[in-house]
Amino acid sequence: MYEFVTGPLAWLAFIVFFVGIVVKLVLYIRGLDWKLDRVTYSVNTSYGVRGALRSIGFWLMPYGTQSYRNNPGFTLALFVMHIGLILTPIFLLGHNILLAERWGVSLPSLPEGATDVLTVCVIAAALVLLLRRIALPEVRIITTAYDVLLLAIAVAPFVSGLLAHYAHDNGQLWTIVHVLCGEVFLVAIPLTKLSHFVLFFATRAQLGMDYGIKRGGMKSKGIAW
Partner 1 sequence: MPEGVLCNKNKVNTLEQLQALLADKSGKQYYQEMNNLDVDSKALWDLVQKTCKSRTRTWLEICTHCGLCAESCFYYLSNHRDPTQVPSYKIQSTLGEIVRRKGKVDNAFMQMAMDTAFSKCTCCTRCGVYCPMGIDMGVMFSYLRGLLFSQGFTPWEMKIGTGMHRIYRAQMDVTTEDWVETCSWMAEENADEWPGLEIPVDKENADILYTVNAREPKHYPEDIAQAAILFHVAGENWTVPSEGWEETSLAMFAGDWEACKMQVEGVYGAMAKLKPKRMVVTECGHAYRATVIEGPYWAGRTSGKPPVDSFHYVEWVAEALRSGKLKIDPAKKIKEPVTYQDSCNYIRNAGLWDSARYIMSQIAEDFREMTPSREHNFCCGGGGGLNGIGRYREQRNIGLKVKRDQILATGAKLVVAPCHNCWDAIRDLEEVYEIGIRWSFLKPLLINMIEVPAGMRGEE
Q: How far is the CB of 208 from partner 1 (least distance, A)?
A: 7
Q: How far is the CB of 32 from partner 1 (least distance, A)?
A: 6
**Spatial CA neighbour of 211 closest among 195, 202, 223, 199:** 223
**Spatial CA neighbour of 119 closest among 148, 90, 149, 150:** 90
Asked whether 225 and 54 are in contact (CB, 8 A), the reply is yes
Helix (H, G, I), strand (E, B) or coil at 57: helix
Q: How far is the CB of 175 from partner 1 (least distance, A)?
A: 30
Q: How far is the CB of 169 from partner 1 (least distance, A)?
A: 35
Give 5 or 213: the residue with its C-beta nearer to partner 1: 213
**Spatial CA neighbour of 201 closest among 13, 24, 42:** 24
Give 86 or 97: the residue with its C-beta nearer to partner 1: 86
- Residue 57 binding partner 1, by CB under 8 A: no
Asked whether 133 and 90 are in contact (CB, 8 A), the reply is no
Give 168 or 219: the residue with its C-beta nearer to partner 1: 219
Spell out the SS3 assignment of 101-139: HHHCCCCCCCCHHHHHHHHHHHHHHHHHHHHHHHHCHHH
Give 70 or 112: the residue with its C-beta nearer to partner 1: 70
Q: Quick one: which H or E segment has residue 172? A: none
**Spatial CA neighbour of 211 closest among 26, 23, 59:** 59
* Residue 163: count of CB within 10 angstroms of its CB: 16
- Residue 59 binding partner 1, by CB under 8 A: yes
Of residues 151-210, which lie at the interface with partner 1 (CB under 8 A)? 193, 195-196, 199-200, 202-204, 206-208, 210
Q: How far is the CB of 151 from partner 1 (least distance, A)?
A: 10
- Residue 69 binding partner 1, by CB under 8 A: no
- Residue 217 binding partner 1, by CB under 8 A: yes
Q: Which one among 1, 136, 149, 191 touches partner 1, defined by CB under 8 A? A: 136
Give 68 or 174: the residue with its C-beta nearer to partner 1: 68
Q: How far apart are CA 187 and CA 191, in angstroms?
A: 7
Helix (H, G, I), strand (E, B) or coil at 99: helix
Binding residues vs partner 1 (CB under 8 A): 27-40, 43-44, 55, 59, 65-68, 70-71, 74, 78, 133, 136-144, 147, 193, 195-196, 199-200, 202-204, 206-208, 210-211, 213-220, 222-225
